[in-house]
Amino acid sequence: MATQIFTLVGVLIGALTSYVATAVAERAKFQREMATRWDERKLDTYIDYVTCIKQIQRAAMDAGRARDQGADASEALAAMEESENRRSVLFETFVLLSNEMAATAAHAVNQRTWELLNTTRVPSNGTAALRPIRLVEALNVLHEAARSDLTISSGSSAG
């Protein structure tokens, strides 16, 4: 009888150990999958946001060049405003998904973008008035913050 009890206890301990090990492994797998899913979503959001900023910058420069040549800048200005509207929406997702450092860097990018937008909106301003250098510098800081948030090793960034 005692050997049967020892056998039964051994089976119960083995089953319990197997259950706990499986539960711990499944939980770790689930957490990895969730982290990967959110990192993919973050990366997509970061790329979309930065792409939108670059579209604003290109459209602003196109408007400045059109003015320098005495041409109509309305098409470039419309593209700039459309990209600005999209940037505004993307920024909300960016802030929801990013860490504090990336969100702070994105706020600085917004400030520089607004400066560029306001300068471009002045009808007499051509390319000489548009200086996207501060925007490029802010984007470089954002790139670093985003890489850190996504735990991507740092390298050189291009503006």
pLDDT at 155 over 60: no
pTM metric for this prediction: 0.75
Q: What CATH number should be reported for the domain whose range is 11-149?
A: 1.20.1420
What is the residue type of 74?
A: S
Residue-wise pLDDT for 85-94, tens only, equals 999 999 999 9
Q: Report CA 33 to chain centroid distance, whole Å.
A: 19
CB atoms < 10 A from the CB of 86, how many? Answer: 16
Amino acid letter, residue 119: T
The whole-angstrom separation of Cα 23 and Cα 19 is 6
The one-character DSSP state at 156 is -
Quote the pLDDT of residue 17. Answer: 85
Residue 94 · residue 45 · CB < 8 Å: yes
DSSP string, 18-48: HHHHHHHHHHHHHHHHHHHHHHHHHHHHHHH
Mean pLDDT, the chain, integer: 89
pLDDT digits (tens, 9 = 90+) for 74-113: 999 999 999 999 999 999 999 999 999 999 999 999 999 9
